Structure 1
């Protein structure tokens, strides 16, 4: 079980690269659906258009229930 507090660097280090929406940068952790929702909110506030697209794709692939209807 992953700790909910991913602001702690030690907890983030325990995550696999596949638990990040942007694994090459280890940004926007999505180990569970709550963090996936948070990643979408954060990237909408602070991410570039390219980051938003990548994060949305990673979240929808891992959690199809969060797929946005266009």
Structure 2
């Protein structure tokens, strides 16, 4: 996955993030795939609600063109 610098992350619009609070940046396919992997991991550990997980999956798949 490509790394976002602080300046690049700060420059992203709010809609480039899957969750409020600018969590889970998904500006491109690489970050979308990573968000899917991390969200699955955190969801299985109980650190993401079903709603948060479904939101990340939906937004990431939109970026990947898999709507």
With normalisation by structure 1, the TM-score equals 0.71
Separation in structure 2 between the aligned mates of residue 34 and residue 62 of structure 1, nearest angstrom? 10
The number of residue pairs the alignment matches comes to 61
Cα RMSD of the aligned pairs, angstroms, is: 1.7
For structure 2, the 5+ residue unaligned runs are 43-47
* 1:4-62 alpha-carbon deviations (Å, 9 max, x no partner): 322x332210111111111x210111111010000011111123222110001111223
Larger relative contact order, structure 1 or 2 (CA cutoff 8 Å, min sep 6): 2
Deviant stretches of 4+, over 4 Å:
none
With normalisation by structure 2, the TM-score equals 0.73
For structure 1, the 5+ residue unaligned runs are none
